């Protein structure tokens, strides 16, 4: 399961260019786009939605600041620093943005910033709220939760899908934020970690890879895009199909 987090306008532009290549390669990525970013890039995201792209609610307010001179991205707007009423309002507005801009009713949510909103009481409140407003899935937790509870688990009527860790370092999120942007600055390690998962899949090992990438970090890298397309025979278009494939729904 492949998802793209789009936190900046650079991600929006990259996603618009990337999506047709991935679709042509047989992949059906999901998109988690903050509402304000969705609004700014509405034309491109509508084209993605019209081509089968499914969108998660990723909150409304921008939670990353892009320095257009350097390309540096600074994280902002952490739910952990907010009153519950405020982050609940942000979730509600994120829902309305996906609905109003794309005509889709999201049933899956991703909190801004992995590993920043994981106190047990926060997660319990989050899952209960998502359940109360009719959601079915969340993918808001880091690999530690998969090590503890499995590749997905139910809480308060919500099925939570932690993002996957690296096989070489199970607590490390397998993503472009940690392995490329804040890693060596190349995609070498990202590709090595993906290749390790692909090898297991090709050997018939049952597993779930819940992979998220930031479009701007990989869009110009043909080797990554080619490698991603090799996952097409194993890809799932969303949470519901993963659950039905695993015999849970
Ligand atoms: Zn984000």
Token digits of residue 119: 């106190």
How many Å lie between the centroid of ligand 1 and the Cα of residue 242? 22
Instruction: Name, in order, each residue with C-beta under 8 angstroms of 4's C-beta and a sequence gap of 6 or more.
Output: 11, 15, 18, 29, 30, 31, 32, 212, 213, 214, 215
Dihedral angle computed from the Cα positions of residues 123, 150, 175 and 60, in that order, rounded to the nearest 10 degrees: -30
How many Å lie between the centroid of ligand 1 and the Cα of residue 101? 18
2-245 is classed CATH 3.20.20.370:
yes
Alpha-carbon distance of 176 to 188, in angstroms, equals 11
Alpha-carbon distance of 243 to 249, in angstroms, equals 6
How many Å lie between the centroid of ligand 1 and the Cα of residue 142? 13
How many Å lie between the centroid of ligand 1 and the Cα of residue 88? 16
Query: Containing H/E element for 30?
Result: strand 30-33
How many Å lie between the centroid of ligand 1 and the Cα of residue 12? 12
Our measurement of the distance from residue 81's CA atom to the centroid of its chain's CA atoms, rounded to an integer in Å, reads 22
pLDDT one digit per residue (tens) for the chain, 249 residues: 999 999 999 999 999 999 999 999 999 999 999 999 999 999 999 999 999 999 999 999 999 888 888 878 888 888 989 999 999 999 999 999 999 999 999 999 999 998 889 999 999 999 999 999 999 999 999 999 999 999 999 999 999 999 999 999 999 999 888 888 887 788 999 999 999 999 999 999 999 999 999 999 999 899 999 999 999 999 998 899 899 888 886
């Amino acid at each position: 399961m492949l998802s793209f987090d789009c936190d900046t306008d650079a991600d929006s532009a990259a996603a618009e260019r990337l999506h047709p290549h991935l679709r042509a390669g047989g992949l059906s990525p999901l998109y988690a786009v903050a509402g304000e970013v969705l609004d700014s890039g509405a034309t491109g995201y509508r084209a993605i939605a019209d081509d089968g792209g499914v969108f998660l609610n990723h909150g409304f307010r921008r939670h990353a600041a892009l320095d257009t001179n350097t390309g540096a991205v600074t994280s902002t707007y952490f739910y952990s620093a907010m009153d519950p009423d405020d982050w609940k309002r942000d979730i509600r507005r994120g829902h309305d943005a996906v609905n109003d801009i794309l005509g889709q009713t999201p049933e899956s949510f991703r909190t801004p910033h992995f590993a920043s909103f994981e106190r047990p009481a926060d997660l319990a409140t989050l899952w209960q709220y998502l359940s109360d407003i009719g959601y079915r899935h969340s993918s808001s937790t880091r690999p530690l939760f998969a090590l503890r509870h499995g590749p997905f688990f139910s809480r308060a009527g919500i099925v939570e899908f932690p993002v996957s860790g690296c096989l070489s370092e199970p607590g490390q999120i397998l993503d472009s934020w940690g392995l490329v942007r804040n890693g060596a600055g190349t995609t070498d390690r990202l590709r090595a970690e993906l290749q390790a998962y692909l090898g297991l899949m090709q050997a018939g090992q049952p597993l779930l890879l819940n992979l998220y990438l930031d479009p701007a970090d990989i869009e110009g890298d043909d080797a990554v895009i080619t490698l991603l397309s090799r996952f097409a025979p194993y890809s799932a278009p969303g949470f519901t199909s993963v659950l039905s494939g695993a015999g849970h729904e």
